[in-house]
Amino acid sequence: MSVKVFRPGAAPLGAAAIYQTLRADIVHMRLMPGVRLSENELGLRFGTSRTPVREAVLRLVDEGLIEVRPQRGTFVSRISLQAVKRARFVRSALELAIIRQAAAQGVPDTAMAAAEQAIVDQRAAGNDPLLFKHADDAFHRVFADAIGFGDLWSVVESQKAQFDRIRLLSLPDVTPVDLLIGQHRAILDAVRARDPETAEDALSAHLSIVVETATALLRTHPDLIHDDVGV
């Protein structure tokens, strides 16, 4: 995957835009764990001075996506196993409550159609991890929007950067796409049947996969994943 490069003649990007761009590059694995970052080179890339670059980098350090190693430099952080588990906890706390309420009260036909379309888009994504991720996120967000809690998705989004890196690293070789689509279908069928317990169980099983996947990938990619659980 290639990163976006500043075009000569374009307006320089501010710290917020640089942060968003770098965050997307890291989450989408265009900047892989361990890659060294230079403020000077980033300034050239974005056509700006080092000050907004430094502000953006510091925000990403706070999020655990970039680390500064004394006397060595600034690097894209390895994927934190602890952060993956934390994101799974946050998603479970919010999404299980959302799916239970969606199944209990029912959702509009337009929401069901949007969820069906997201599943179609997931299958159409084939072996493209990024396209699948977008369709996956669309599926999960449908139910929050349907019960009037769409604003809660921003809370989920803020916590799942490491979660998403694992998803993109694992698709499709480690985590079969057909398995994920089948789980989405089970969730949707339970909501349609107005069966909160089955919907919650299906979603819980679905959200557990990423932690299992991260643990498996840790054995094969110790250079990309950091086992910081209990540290």
Residue 87 belongs to some domain of the structure: yes
Question: Are residues 67 and 52 both part of a single domain?
Answer: yes
Domain assignment present for residue 3? The answer is no
Under a CB-based contact definition with an 8 Å cutoff, are residues 46 and 54 in contact?
no
Tell whether 86 and 70 lie within a shared domain: no
Provide the CATH number for the domain around residue 204.
1.20.120.530
Per-residue pLDDT tens digits for 169-222? 888 788 889 999 999 999 999 999 999 999 999 999 999 998 889 888 998 899
Q: How high is the pLDDT of residue 123?
A: 95
Regarding whether 55 and 165 lie in a shared domain, the answer is no
For residue 1, being part of any structural domain is answered with no
Cα angle for residues 44, 49, 50 (degrees, 5° grid): 95
| Domains: count for the chain | 2
Q: Where residue 59 sits, what CATH number does that domain have? A: 1.10.10.10
Residue 4 counted as domain residue: no
What is the residue range of 26's domain? Answer: 15-77
Residues forming beta bridges with residue 59, ordered by sequence position: none
The verdict on 194 and 135 lying in the same domain is yes
pTM of the model: 0.85
Residues 88 and 200 in one domain: yes
